[in-house]
Structure 1
Amino acid sequence: MINVGRVVNGRNSQPFIVYRKSGSWVAGRWVQTEEPIPLTGTITVAKEKDLQQVPEGDRVGGEISVHCTKALYATRAANDPITSTKPGTSDEVLWQGDRYRLFTLSPYMDYGYYKGVGIRKTSN
């Protein structure tokens, strides 16, 4: 198999930060924590085929496609047999001053990389 991870971290790669949220129940309340994880990879504007179709129409509004060699996560339940990770919400990517919440993931680990599509979060 071809290891695409070498291309993902090639000359066009750039640093970015992934914010991974998790949490636990403390005294009957959910306490969420956020961990910044510095990564390197390739980020591009999402293409038409990357975008999710939703009942109210195409989802358009600043989507990006993230390719990196480290695992990315969407919202996950406790003891998820697929991810074997702690419960948490979708990773958020900080890129060019904006945060993007990942909503679609493609784990191409057999080819050496992970792909996520994120939508820009609205500013408060």
Structure 2
Amino acid sequence: MSRVNVKRVILSPRFKQIYTVTRTGGHFEKGKFVLDAPSKFNISGVITVASAKEVNMIPEGDKINGAMVFYSLVPLHTTTNNPNAISDIIEWQNNKYKIMQVNPWIDYGYYQAIAVRMEGY
């Protein structure tokens, strides 16, 4: 049985798109969490509309509009998988998306992030 090489699809010029990730870390100082300056970097990957199954994977699934799935070879962060940072924000097609869940398909060499459009951006 042949498998689709997702990593190859993510790198394919036919499917990949460029998007910008804003990552904000932080540290504890005198018992308070202090945010560091945000950093921005570009990633190329495949972007698709989130399916109903993917939307239901996140707790806010019944309230979500504009959910997208971002596939990348670079780890993306949520607050829960990196307690010293806030969730990554993705800028794509003049919209901002907050990452709500990351599925690390590390054995296959890629990450799947479900993100929701942030209102007002």
The TM-score bracket by the shorter chain reads 0.7 to 0.9
Q: Aligned residues: percent identity?
A: 29
> Which segments of 5 or more consecutive residues in structure 2 lack a partner in the other structure?
none
Question: What is the root-mean-square deviation in Å for CA atoms of aligned residues?
Answer: 2.4
Residues 64-103 of structure 1: pairs in structure 2 closer than 5 A: 64-76=68-80, 87-103=84-100
Q: 1:36-75 CA distances to partner (integer Å, 9 max, x unpaired)? A: 12100011111111103648x7133100000011111111
Alpha-carbon distance, 1:30 to partner: 3.4
> Which segments of 5 or more consecutive residues in structure 1 lack a partner in the other structure?
77-82
Aligned residues: 116
Hey, which of these two has a bigger chunk of strand by percent? 1
Give TM-score scaled by structure 2 length.
0.82
Equivalent position amino acid for 1:98 in 2: N
Whether the 8 Å CA contact 1:22–1:86 is kept in 2: the answer is no
Q: Single out whichever of 65-74 and 18-27 deviates more from structure 2.
A: 18-27
Cα distance in structure 1, aligned partners of 2:5 and 2:50: 22
Q: 1:81-110 CA distances to partner (integer Å, 9 max, x unpaired)? A: xx6x67111111111011100111100011
Hey, which of these two has a bigger chunk of helix by percent? 2
Residues 53-72 of structure 1: pairs in structure 2 closer than 5 A: 54=59, 58-72=62-76
Cα distance in structure 2, aligned partners of 1:48 and 1:99: 20
Q: 1:14-38 CA distances to partner (integer Å, 9 max, x unpaired)? A: 1101111111234665331211121
